[in-house]
């Protein structure tokens, strides 16, 4: 019997050896000097995403109010 039928989320369960193997592969592929640059870029991307979502939340009530005024 296929194990995926029994537990469809089994691939999402990560153990310590899986994480270590992935980190070792990343280290081998990119090298030690490139990883901080990649993490910096990732952090900046996350920050920009949070800022954009925060701006959307701030602008949502204004947009709703403007659309209600146009419909009236």
* pLDDT number for residue 46: 93
61 in any annotated domain: yes
Q: Please give the span between the terminal C-alpha atoms of the chain, in angstroms, as a whole number.
A: 62
24 in any annotated domain: no
Percent of the chain exceeding pLDDT 90 equals 21
Q: Is the pLDDT of residue 3 over 60?
A: no
Give how many domains the chain has, as a whole number: 1
Instruction: Taking residues 51-57, report their average pLDDT.
Output: 83
Greater model confidence, 15 or 11: 15
Instruction: Tell me the pTM.
Output: 0.49
Match 């990883």 to its residue by tokens: 35
Phi, psi (rounded to 5 degrees) for 33: -80, -25
Instruction: Taking residues 17-21, report their average pLDDT.
Output: 87
71 in any annotated domain: yes
* pLDDT number for residue 1: 45
């Amino acid at each position: 019997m296929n194990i995926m039928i029994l537990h469809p989320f089994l691939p999402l369960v990560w153990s310590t050896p899986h994480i270590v193997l992935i980190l070792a592969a990343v280290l081998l592929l990119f090298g030690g000097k490139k990883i901080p640059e990649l993490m910096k870029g990732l952090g900046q991307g996350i920050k920009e995403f949070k800022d954009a979502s925060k701006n959307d939340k701030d602008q949502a009530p204004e947009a709703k109010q403007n659309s209600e005024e146009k419909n009236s």
